[in-house]
Amino acid sequence: MNNPAAQVRDAPDVETVVIGAGVVGLAIARSLAAAGHEVVVLERHGAIGQETSSRSSEVIHAGLYYPPGSLKARLCVEGRRMLYAFARENGIPHARYGKLVVATAEAELPRLDALAATARANGVSDIARLSAADVQAREPDLDCVGALLSPSTGVIDSHALMVALEGHIRSGAGSIVLNADVADLQARDGAPFEIATVSAGERTTLTARNLVIAAGLGATRLGSMLVADSRYEPPKTYPARGHYYVLDGPTPFRHLVYPLPRDAWLGIHLTLDIAGRARFGPDLEWQVEPSTVFDEEDGARRARFEREIRRYWPGLPEGRLSPGYVGVRPKIYASGEPARDFAMHDARDHGIARLVALYGIESPGLTSSLAIGAHVAALLPR
Ligand SMILES: Cc1cc2nc3c(=O)[nH]c(=O)nc-3n(C[C@H](O)[C@H](O)[C@H](O)COP(=O)(O)OP(=O)(O)OC[C@H]3O[C@@H](n4cnc5c(N)ncnc54)[C@H](O)[C@@H]3O)c2cc1C
């Protein structure tokens, strides 16, 4: 470009904008800042991590379930290693409790073996097959006919993780702008992206050389503003709500306990938080619009949970479950369709240089976050 006026006009305000301050957007911004990018994270809420990232099971998954070779499989296994190291180095509370995937009927045993084969193909080398007696020795209250033990599954304080990521971003060449709701996006050939945000009713426009959309449930709406090629359509988002009940009082379990997965759903499982308190869920309810309202369904939901839990914990006492919270998965496949992989679209998909847009970052997105950060930063060389 030889026109100096055009050069001045087209000089971006910032090098790289990331839309979304959930765990994934923050992890991406941290990787970009570490690679020397001047990066600004735009977040519509008044604090980081107010949507899906603060409504998960907080499990560091080992990588048992996902099709070998998929982004979910690769980024989960890699992200899990990175997350344990990052948690250790940054003093983030976490616990490697280990997890038992249980078969509750003889007919389910071959599915345990199939799951073990998938896990090994994904590079999860530490899983062990346990007999019912082995399980009894470890967890006397658990009723099953066999199980898989995944020692490297754990939990992490996801809020502390996000605060640590924020610290890394701010101590690099990065900043986070809160209450910045991105209302409009423009991409013109060769020119920087134009990003219009609304804050307290006031509209501001920022330009950026690179743009990352890590907006969770809001990604499809934003991605649709930047369609350059009529053959490309951003994936549609199908919200799917999951309720959690917490167990009142102490739990007899020391491991996380999962039934065998059904289709794209892991089943009502038991997880422990950092303090060792047990919670159960999430269930799976497809929605038209995302809602985090806890719907008790006049007791029908609680009864369903109790029935599911008693398949592996027959001793669950009456009246020990209290409503917890609701998280919404940003799925990119509809009810009844086969599960889809994470979608991380770059110019090869949508035809727009220096744009990376993420869709369908459901579980294991928390586990994979640091690996996703490294992956996206590699797509945006300086
Ligand atoms: C019920 C449930 C259980 C889960 N359990 C686990 C688990 O145990 N382990 C695991 O690894 N993963 C789990 N996950 C998945 C994990 O929580 C997600 O993959 C992860 O939190 C996604 O992070 P994110 O940053 O992509 O999305 P989000 O946390 O949703 O962040 C997106 C951000 O973008 C912002 N945003 C959206 N639109 C705009 C806009 N227009 N302008 C500005 N900002 C905008 C939002 O406000 C939000 O803060 C679970 C998910 C759910 C729903």
pLDDT, tens only, 119-164: 999 999 999 999 999 999 999 999 999 999 999 999 999 999 999 9
Q: What is the mean pLDDT of the chain?
A: 95
CA 359 to chain centre: 11
Distance from C-alpha of 281 to C-alpha of 271, rounded to nearest angstrom: 8
Q: Where are the domains of the chain?
A: 13-55+159-236+339-379, 99-151+238-331
CA-nearest of 376, 380, 381, 371 to 78 is 371
CATH superfamily label, 13-55+159-236+339-379: FAD/NAD(P)-binding domain (3.50.50.60)
pLDDT tier at 229 (50, 70, 90 boundaries)? confident
What is the whole-number distance in angstroms between the Cα of residue 308 and the centre of ligand 1?
26
Closest approach atom of ligand 1 to CA 362? 19
What is the whole-number distance in angstroms between the Cα of residue 52 and the centre of ligand 1?
3
Closest approach atom of ligand 1 to CA 57? 8
The per-type count for the chain, helices as H runs and strands as E runs, is 10, 20
- Lookup: tokens for 170: 């701010």
Question: Could you give the percent of the chain with pLDDT greater than 70?
Answer: 97
Q: Let me know the angle formed at the C-alpha of 119 by 61 and 256, rounded to the nearest 5 degrees.
A: 40
Residue 7's pLDDT is what?
Answer: 47
Residue 340's pLDDT is what?
Answer: 97
pLDDT tier at 5 (50, 70, 90 boundaries)? very low
CATH dotted code for 99-151+238-331: 3.30.9.10
Spell out where the chain has E strands.
14-19, 39-42, 59-60, 94-95, 99-103, 128-131, 146-150, 154-156, 174-177, 181-186, 193-199, 202-213, 238-247, 256-259, 269-272, 278-281, 285-286, 321-331, 343-345, 355-359
pTM, entire model: 0.96
- Provide residues with CB under 6 Å of ligand 1: 19-25, 42-45, 50-53, 55-59, 61, 181-182, 214-218, 222, 242, 282, 327-329, 361-367
CA-nearest of 173, 131, 166, 174 to 149 is 131
What is the whole-number distance in angstroms between the Cα of residue 23 and the centre of ligand 1?
7
The DSSP code sequence of 129-180 is EEEHHHHHHH-TT---SEEEEETT-EEE-HHHHHHHHHHHHHHTTEEEE-S-
Distance from C-alpha of 242 to C-alpha of 126, rounded to nearest angstrom: 30
pLDDT, tens only, 18-68: 999 999 999 999 999 999 999 999 999 999 999 999 999 999 999 999 999
Residues 279-312 as b or e (16 or more Cβ within 10 Å = b): bbbbbbbeeeebeeeeeeeeeebbeebbebbeeb
Q: Let me know the angle formed at the C-alpha of 94 by 240 and 80, rounded to the nearest 5 degrees.
A: 65
What is the whole-number distance in angstroms between the Cα of residue 161 and the centre of ligand 1?
13
What is the whole-number distance in angstroms between the Cα of residue 51 and the centre of ligand 1?
6
pLDDT, tens only, 196-226: 999 999 999 999 999 999 999 999 999 999 9
